[in-house]
Structure 1
Amino acid sequence: MAKKKRQAAAPAPASTDKPATLKDLLSSDILDKLKAQATELKAEEAKRKEDERKQAEEVRHAEQKRLDSNFEYLLNNSKMDWKKYK
Structure 2
Amino acid sequence: MAKKRRQASPSNRPSSAEQPATLKDLLSSEMVDKLKAQANEIRAEEEKRKEEERKKAEQARKAEQERLDNDFEHLLKNSNLDWRKYK
State TM-score, norm by structure 1: 0.82
Which structure 2 residues correspond to residues 15-54 of structure 1 after superposition, within 5 A? 15=15, 16-54=17-55
- Structure 1 stretches of 4+ with a deviation exceeding 4 A read 11-14
Give the counterpart letter for 1:48 in structure 2. R
Secondary structure at 2:20's aligned position in 1? coil
Aligned twin of 1:72: 73
Cα offset, 1:33, TM superposition? 0.5
| Superposed displacement of residue 19, structure 1 | 1.0
Residue aligning to 2:63: 62
CA-atom RMSD in angstroms: 1.5
Q: Which has the larger radius of gyration?
A: 1
C-alpha displacement at 1:17, in angstroms?
1.3
Aligned counterparts of 1:45 and 1:12: Cα–Cα separation in 2: 43
Task: Specify the SS of the correspondent of 1:48.
Answer: helix
More helix by share: 1
Q: Deviation per CA, 1:41-67: give whole Å up to 9, x if none.
A: 000000000000000100110111111
Q: How many residues align?
A: 76
Unaligned stretches of 5+ in structure 2? 1-10
Q: Report the secondary structure of 2:60's partner residue.
A: helix
For normalisation by structure 2, the TM-score amounts to: 0.81
Identity score, percent = 64
Residues 29/63 of structure 1: CA separation in 2 closer, same or farther (3 Å cut): same
Unaligned stretches of 5+ residues in structure 1:
1-10
